[in-house]
Structure 1
């Protein structure tokens, strides 16, 4: 499934041969014919290498490699920066290049997001750019054009955004939201570390711990370690090493005996940040992690998402507390609404800034459910009366089978084959989601009828 749109242009894009001024015609987005950015990148060579890395991830399948996939990076123009994002063909690697305010010499005149095809001619042009070549970039919602003083323009037209990318955008921002910085080393140590990692075909799960000024690989997790699943998937960072000043890694808290988890690896300069986020295992793509399902299961989440979407600004990060105050909602409902918006590519999460950021892909609340068959199944079970709740245990009838669901705090478990196989590692099963839907609905109805009556019986209450 892909997001499709039809665009029309006022006139063809062109480069004036007299003043070398590039003009891109655009269509759609925040206005009929908006302009995102017009100007130069202050560090053109590392910016070109970073964009090539994002494009390389988009055309690569790290698990069961095949011919290069024809997927496309996404670019967002925010208040003071540009963000280029992509997913690998297997959706197991999320790449992003942030061009920070000091990296831009120009004007972001409006804001939005578009999907662009970085094809072989454009990659060839980017590969030939040096730091002495002024790189003029004009970004519109349907085009990415890169020129140097000596070369003519290369214009890339927008193509549909695959549905698996939308799912991946949502999963990545939910999974990375609790990440914290775990390790940091300088340029020399970063180069030594990345160059000694296993090749791209390696599928082992390693762990990285700080060892003085360097990093050490280990086969077992310990407190403070960062998971490195399929270390060869970091190969796209290597060309950027000659510009980087530091390598940072982000991840969730782990303990001895922890299973594989996702992690983010970032190379930075004063003007750019290039990062790769790896799925917990090479064969697991972000679009199948199921991390968004619990947040999408609330009945009020669609209405909350509509309200929050109207309040979003284009600041570098989204202030959740300020949004909660403006919307008159609890913080947890705002977070759930951001997950809902994430399923349509409207928000992402920046681990370096420790905050959400705004995108402007077309928002369709119904698309969240269409892309999550478990949630569709859960709603069908809840609406058909297949859920019976009694005390701490619920029974869910599914076809000819019945399954038992139990909640410990806010975490549910089930006797179904899905739960037995994944133990919650790929998100909740449809039976747990169905029970959550029913108990939440019962709690809200009881609160509405008898406000102030006290405790509401039910799982997780």
Structure 2
């Protein structure tokens, strides 16, 4: 982004021409540097028009801001980080991450709630300051609210001509969290849906605190909370992390929950909780445990460990144009890549913040974040360690299909049984693959892939030489 810089020390600067504000029915959101469909811009102008559902939109933006400044695990004061806003043409998406890295929040303002002109598609940060939050809290009734996202001529001028600059710590776990969330939730299915009134009763009945993960099971028209997993259940780790939904319940039309397939005895997993509001959706994605952020989940490691995925991602990235829905089948056809390579490349794009995933529509969407893609590998210490093991020739394959990895002066044994893999290291013993592969498994897979590629090149050279040999 043009006006936003990320230093190696993990500081993020936001520069605005003036503060955002709410005055005389006009909500003016100031933009920082952004990437648009026509290129980088210092202060992009995305939308001007009317929010037809003012009260739920104001409450949703407040909820998003509350997530961004909250540490749900070991609470302590933290700096506020401005939301990321993407204009996809028919909708405006606003995203934030909790300070502890365990809760991802998104407010999607959809076409039925927007009446105005889209001037540009793209992504930026928007200024959300204390006075704006106080003003949003007073929005009520059914009157429409005029909205300007980056429109200089319509922005609220509370500090005429003044440049506003914010510099806040931006932990690397935010980048890793954005990457992990889109990979994890792309594997989720809808597990339950309840009407607005039943959603209100369910959310208000939840305990404020729970040490162990709870599970929500569909039961008739509502959800029932249990202490044990069962088929069809959705994990609820830390019910207090849903509290930003409470002020939105008066607008709720329905609530949907998404999660992976679980069985009796399953461990805690991530989950998605979605409130349907008039013309918009408010979404919270929770990490598997209250004390566990998304940055260490390791879901992206398999896909980004290949050199091929990086090249494919560059190709697909050039084909994206801030679509509200990115269709893998269509991208595969347009790019000439197979579907499997296309999906791996989309994961690679996600690790640099270039795509997210919308569980409501089971589709990727294009957005850009102010991060350098080259930093991704460095932000994954397991992948970095695995590549170092391969470079040090620490991987040895045995005759029975096993692999021995020399690591920290000892040997770790990696076994493959079909799609199942195990390792004798402490990490694997603790997590059993639920938080992605350990560095030893990654190293073995990288080494095996390198060996297969070299063998393929040798075969190709032999075949080519044979085809050139003169006939006898």
The alpha-carbon distance between structure 1 residues 95 and 25, as it changes in their structure 2 partners (threshold 3 A), is: closer
8 Å CA contact 2:49–2:116 kept in 1: the answer is: yes
Match of 1:385 among 393, 396, 399: 393
Aligned match of 2:468: none
In 1, Cα distance between the equivalents of 2:127 and 2:167?
Answer: 7
8 Å CA contact 1:206–1:228 kept in 2: the answer is: yes
Aligned match of 1:90: 100
Correspondence 1:185 to 2:194: yes
Q: Deviations over 1:204-232 (max 9, x none)?
A: 21111111112111111111111111112
**TM alignment of 1:71-86, pairs within 5 A:** 71-86=81-96
Correspondence 1:399 to 2:405: no
| 1:270 CA drift (Å) | 3.7
Aligned match of 1:124: 134
Q: Deviations over 1:87-108 (max 9, x none)?
A: 1111111111000011111122
8 Å CA contact 1:115–1:159 kept in 2: the answer is: no
| 1:31 CA drift (Å) | 3.7
User: Which deviates more from structure 2 when the two are superposed, residues 270-279 or residues 356-365?
Assistant: 356-365
**What secondary structure, in the 3-state scheme, does the structure 2 residue paired with 1:403 have?**
strand
8 Å CA contact 2:217–2:224 kept in 1: the answer is: yes
| 1:436 CA drift (Å) | 0.9
8 Å CA contact 1:85–1:94 kept in 2: the answer is: yes
Correspondence 1:345 to 2:353: yes
Aligned match of 2:261: 253
Bigger relative contact order (CA 8 A; separation at least 6): 2
The alpha-carbon distance between structure 1 residues 257 and 13, as it changes in their structure 2 partners (threshold 3 A), is: closer
Correspondence 1:136 to 2:136: no
In 2, Cα distance between the equivalents of 1:449 and 1:433?
Answer: 24
The alpha-carbon distance between structure 1 residues 19 and 85, as it changes in their structure 2 partners (threshold 3 A), is: closer
In 2, Cα distance between the equivalents of 1:451 and 1:98?
Answer: 50
User: Which deviates more from structure 2 when the two are superposed, residues 235-244 or residues 213-222?
Assistant: 213-222
8 Å CA contact 2:175–2:371 kept in 1: the answer is: no
Match of 1:168 among 177, 182, 200: 177
In 1, Cα distance between the equivalents of 2:239 and 2:319?
Answer: 40
| 1:410 CA drift (Å) | 3.5
| 1:118 CA drift (Å) | 2.3
| 1:408 CA drift (Å) | 2.6
Match of 1:198 among 207, 210, 224: 207
Please give the TM-score of this superposition, normalised by the length of structure 1. Answer: 0.89
8 Å CA contact 1:377–1:430 kept in 2: the answer is: yes
In 1, Cα distance between the equivalents of 2:146 and 2:165?
Answer: 18
**What secondary structure, in the 3-state scheme, does the structure 2 residue paired with 1:242 have?**
helix
The alpha-carbon distance between structure 1 residues 411 and 110, as it changes in their structure 2 partners (threshold 3 A), is: farther
Aligned match of 2:440: 431
Aligned match of 1:331: 339
**What secondary structure, in the 3-state scheme, does the structure 2 residue paired with 1:412 have?**
strand
Q: Deviations over 1:348-396 (max 9, x none)?
A: 1100010111112246332110111111111111112111123421111
In 1, Cα distance between the equivalents of 2:419 and 2:371?
Answer: 29
Q: CA RMSD in A?
A: 3.0
8 Å CA contact 2:13–2:165 kept in 1: the answer is: no
| 1:68 CA drift (Å) | 4.5
Aligned match of 2:465: none
**What secondary structure, in the 3-state scheme, does the structure 1 residue paired with 2:321 have?**
coil
8 Å CA contact 1:114–1:158 kept in 2: the answer is: no
**TM alignment of 1:21-420, pairs within 5 A:** 27-29=33-35, 30-33=39-42, 34-140=44-150, 161-199=170-208, 201-362=209-370, 364-390=372-398, 391-420=400-429
**What secondary structure, in the 3-state scheme, does the structure 2 residue paired with 1:315 have?**
coil
Please give the TM-score of this superposition, normalised by the length of structure 2. Answer: 0.87
In 2, Cα distance between the equivalents of 1:328 and 1:448?
Answer: 22
In 2, Cα distance between the equivalents of 1:156 and 1:123?
Answer: 17
Q: Deviations over 1:288-326 (max 9, x none)?
A: 111111111112121111111111132211100111122
In 1, Cα distance between the equivalents of 2:264 and 2:155?
Answer: 48
8 Å CA contact 2:88–2:324 kept in 1: the answer is: yes
8 Å CA contact 1:386–1:397 kept in 2: the answer is: yes
The alpha-carbon distance between structure 1 residues 21 and 69, as it changes in their structure 2 partners (threshold 3 A), is: closer
8 Å CA contact 1:187–1:247 kept in 2: the answer is: yes
Stretches of structure 2 lacking an aligned partner (at least 5 in a row): 1-8, 463-472
The alpha-carbon distance between structure 1 residues 311 and 409, as it changes in their structure 2 partners (threshold 3 A), is: farther
8 Å CA contact 1:246–1:267 kept in 2: the answer is: yes
